[in-house]
């Protein structure tokens, strides 16, 4: 079974409704990626990676913590899928570059 990493731009300070919509979006991306792969995948735990982090409004600290934790999970994946707007996010851009440099297969799905 392949391990799949799923990423989409993350907005700090989301309320509960926005946070749930964010995870629903990640789940849709995972489903679309599995359809492209043709098999069920183990999803790298984006729920634990993307928990809201509060460092007294210090976005730079949030990004560093988020990236360090997320790269650790990305490194365990066989393939990754990024939302079609990944380029709008500093975090997703970094993760996309890391995936490319490490030779992790990047799937092209839109959702």
pLDDT on residue 55: 45
Between the alpha carbon of residue 43 and those of residues 25, 28, 61, 84, 88, the distances in Å are: 14, 12, 26, 19, 23
Q: What is the pLDDT of residues 57-109, one digit of tens each?
A: 666 666 777 788 889 899 999 999 988 888 888 888 999 999 999 999 998 77
d(C-alpha 58, C-alpha 75), whole Å = 26
Residues 6+ apart with CB under 8 A from 92: 7, 8, 9, 82, 83, 86
Q: What is the pLDDT of residues 14-30, one digit of tens each?
A: 788 887 888 888 888 88
What global pTM score does this model have?
0.78
């Amino acid at each position: 079974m392949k391990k799949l990493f799923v990423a989409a731009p993350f907005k700090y300070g989301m309320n509960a409704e926005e946070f749930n919509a964010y995870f629903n979006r990640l789940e849709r991306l995972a489903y679309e990626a599995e359809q492209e792969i043709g098999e069920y995948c183990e999803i790298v735990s984006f729920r634990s990676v993307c928990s809201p982090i509060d460092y007294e409004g210090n976005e730079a600290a949030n990004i560093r913590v988020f990236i360090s934790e997320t790269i650790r999970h990305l490194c365990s994946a066989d393939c990754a899928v990024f939302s079609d707007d990944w380029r709008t996010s500093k975090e997703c851009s970094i993760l996309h570059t890391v995936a490319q440099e490490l030779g992790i297969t990047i799937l092209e799905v839109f959702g």
